[in-house]
Chains A and B, each alone.
Chain A
């Protein structure tokens, strides 16, 4: 299914957020805030931007979920595209399931395993290089956390992709300003992010990471060099008691919190 209108994408993102909190509650695990942070980005990517995601088709667009701990968001969106069904989503984190808190390549619709932060942009750069070598117009998307800009390897890849003007590569940074132990400006200040990326030869788009239309415009853009979208987001977006709190990087939901979260998301607060 390919959803085309912005309203349909918004509705899909609400369904996905519900899947996230329900799935997390069922499994009793965290990383909820991170998944909600990228949910709009992943929904637009999977449902409106990436070409027919027929697993195994070499010309399909690729996604590297470099911030692998947001895998729940990807699983939720893969239900929208039909790669996964609700039943398999229910196996999340159960014994023998292929759906772990970080994504594995054995899952249909998932191109790369991830989980070790700071490695995804290199992988995406190689994938974009492969597309260019093969004369393919396909695109490669890398969804990163802002804290992955702490990692030196991220900048190795940024330098390479910028130098070689790999315009099939789009990085989306989930700029929620938070990481595991604190707020990004307090841990290692990354700003000015736009000047950093521009100086590495990238087109930079600053976008509201929860605006479907803004994300769509940004993700559709393909210039002459690689693009980075600085998606300004909120951790835990859509659930008022989660938004912006460090705790929800890791914390699981209690029964009461789950009810409130699901109610708020259903009410269309997303």
Chain B
């Protein structure tokens, strides 16, 4: 998703001289198209993410639209307080671009995972959060963000090929991809890929599983309530800790709206333990593989 992001950003920057791209010395073989086209507006801040985010405050106050790019934990967690005091408290249009949500950087180890980025950014009601599901949504999100006059977090997965059959009709948000009646698999961004496979498995077992993708936070919670409310059971599926992300949001909405929907949160429940493995291996360990999701839904549907 990094390539569609950079492609769209270059196109946007042609027309919008306010766009500047800051990187914490990351983005090799990805950011060059921007760097070559706009050398003055490409700023390698070095391995100094706090200063990078602080500079974004100064740039945004002066009328620029800074995009602050790094691997997600270094873009969000290291300079978190700079973002809070700068962009959030002063309502400035700083854009954090965090690459590798969840365990995309699986072999790099726990330091490179982003399993709590949404938990720390979701509480700010003014911060618009985008978690594109595929390369199409990554491009659309980049264009959508350009017009937002507020802080933004864009969480980009590392996949550069996979795409849903159709783009979101009305922009990124929450939408049903597969209808169903017994259970809703409510998937965060790219996790919808596993959700779709799980739904097929459930269908072969005679379960009518709906699949929805959630690609934004802090945009339209009412739409999400409407989406959840018809279902007796919802499984949230996210590459994130089960606390603070989509599972928590669903729990809050179900409780506040007084829905009768039961909730199962699928996501990471343990701190990374120092093992190395592929993204698929990490997903399996967190119970997020398609067959595990299907089994979880079957268990929950069994009469107790």
Neighbour of A58 across the interface among B48, B56, B62, B90, CB < 8 A:
B62
| Per-residue B-contact encoding for A158-180, CB less than 8 Å = 1, 0 else | 01100000000000000000000
Contacts A122-B51, A122-B82, A157-B51 given; does A112 touch B61 at CB 8 Å = yes
Contact of B51 among A58, A116, A125, A133 (CB under 8 A): A125
Q: Report how far A116 CA is from B88 CA in the complex, Å.
A: 14
A223 to chain B, nearest CB (A): 20
User: B90 to chain A: which residues have CB within 8 Å?
Assistant: 105, 112-113
Tell me, in angstroms, the Cα distance from A159 to B66 when the chains sit together.
20
Mask of B1-35 contacts with A, CB within 8 angstroms, 1/0? 00000000000000000001000000000000000
Instruction: Answer yes or no: A143 CB below 8 A from chain B CBs.
Output: no
* A159 contacts B56, C-beta separation under 8 Å: no
Q: Are A130 and B64 in contact (CB under 8 A)?
A: yes
Determine whether B142 belongs to the interface, using a CB cutoff of 8 Å to chain A: no
User: A72: CB under 8 A from chain B?
Assistant: no
The answer to whether B43 touches A123 (Cβ under 8 A) is no
Interface centre among A62, A105, A114, A153 (most CB of B within 10 A): A153
**Once the chains bind, are A160 and B46 in contact (CB under 8 Å)?**
yes
Given the complex of chains A and B, what is the CA–CA distance between A156 and B50 in angstroms?
A: 8
> In angstroms, how far is the closest chain A Cβ from the Cβ of B211?
43
Q: Mark A102-145, 1 if CB is under 8 A from B, else 0.
A: 00010000011111100111111111111101100000100000
B48 pairs with A156, CB closer than 8 A:
yes
User: Contact partner of B50 among A127, A128, A133, A153, CB < 8 A?
Assistant: A153
- Picked from A105, A116, A122, the residue with its CB within 8 Å of the CB of B58 is A122
Bound CA span A259–B51, Å: 44
A152 at the interface (CB under 8 A from B): yes
Decide: B61 and A127 in contact? CB cutoff 8 A: yes
CB distance from A146 to the nearest CB of B (A): 19
Closest chain B residue, CB of each to CB of A126: B58
- B125 CB-CB contact with A under 8 Å: no
Q: B31-83: which have CB < 8 Å to A?
A: 40-41, 43, 45-46, 48, 50-64, 66, 81-82
Taking a contact as CB atoms under 8 Å apart, the answer to whether B59 and A122 are in contact is: no
Q: Assess whether B276 is interfacial by the CB under 8 Å rule.
A: no
Given A58-B62, A58-B63, A133-B40, decide whether A126 and B50 contact each other with a Cβ distance below 8 A. no
Q: Does B278 contact A (CB under 8 A)?
A: no
Contact B54 A126 (CB under 8 A): yes
The chain A residue with its CB closest to the CB of B48 is A156
Residues of B within 8 A of A160 (CB): 45-46, 48, 51, 55
For B, the interface residue count at a CB cutoff of 8 angstroms equals: 29
Contact partners of B55 in chain A: CB under 8 A: 122-123, 125-126, 129, 157, 160
Closest Cβ of chain A to B43, distance in Å, is 7
Q: Is B86 an interface residue (CB 8 A)?
A: yes
Counting chain B CB atoms within 10 Å of each CB, the highest count among A64, A116, A129 belongs to: A129
Given the complex, which residues of A lie within 8 Å of B298, measured CB to CB?
A: none
B92 to chain A, nearest CB (A): 9
- Point out the residues of chain B lying under 8 angstroms from A127, CB to CB: 58-59, 61-62
Chain B contact residues, majority secondary structure: helix
Q: Are A123 and B86 in contact, with the CB atoms below 8 A?
A: yes
> What is the bound-complex CA distance between A266 and B62, given in angstroms?
39
A96, B72: Cα distance in complex, Å: 37
- Residues of chain A lying within 8 A (CB to CB) of residue B56: 126
Q: Mark A215-231, 1 if CB is under 8 A from B, else 0.
A: 00000000000000000
Once bound together, how far apart are the Cα atoms of A16 and B220, in whole Å?
A: 49
**Which of B40, B41, B54 is in CB contact (< 8 Å) with A153?**
B54
- Collect the chain A residues with CB atoms within 8 Å of residue B181's CB: none
A111 contact set on B, CB distance < 8 A: 61
- Is A122 within 8 A of B62, CB to CB? no
| A124 partner residues in chain B, CB cutoff 8 A | 58
Minimum Cβ distance to chain B for residue A64 (Å): 8
Q: B203 an interface residue at 8 Å Cβ cutoff?
A: no
Given A126-B57, A133-B41, also A116-B62 (CB < 8 A) = no
Q: Which B residues lie within 8 Å of A156 (CB)? A: 46, 48, 50-51
Contact of A140 among B51, B58, B63 (CB under 8 A): B58
Q: Is the CB of A133 within 8 A of B85?
A: no
Instruction: Mark B76-107 against chain A: 1 for CB-CB distance below 8 A, else 0.
Output: 00000110011001100000000000000000
CA distance A128 to B61 in the complex (A): 11
CB-CB nearest in chain B for A157:
B51
Q: B54–A116 contact, CB under 8 A? A: no
A126 to B79, CA, bound (A): 15
Instruction: Determine the distance from Cα of A130 to Cα of B89 in the docked complex, in whole angstroms.
Output: 20
A157 vs B56: C-alpha distance when bound (angstroms) = 12
A116 to B41, CA, bound (A): 28
Roughly how many angstroms separate A126 CA and B46 CA in the complex, as a whole number?
14
**12 new A-B contacts at CB < 8 Å, known A112-B90, A127-B61:** A111-B61, A112-B57, A113-B90, A116-B81, A122-B55, A123-B86, A129-B55, A130-B63, A134-B63, A140-B58, A153-B51, A157-B55
* 8 examples of A-B residue contacts, CB within 8 angstroms: A62-B58, A113-B85, A126-B58, A126-B59, A133-B41, A134-B63, A152-B50, A159-B46
Q: Which 9 A-B pairs have the closest CB atoms?
A: A122-B54, A126-B58, A126-B55, A130-B62, A127-B58, A156-B51, A156-B48, A153-B50, A122-B51
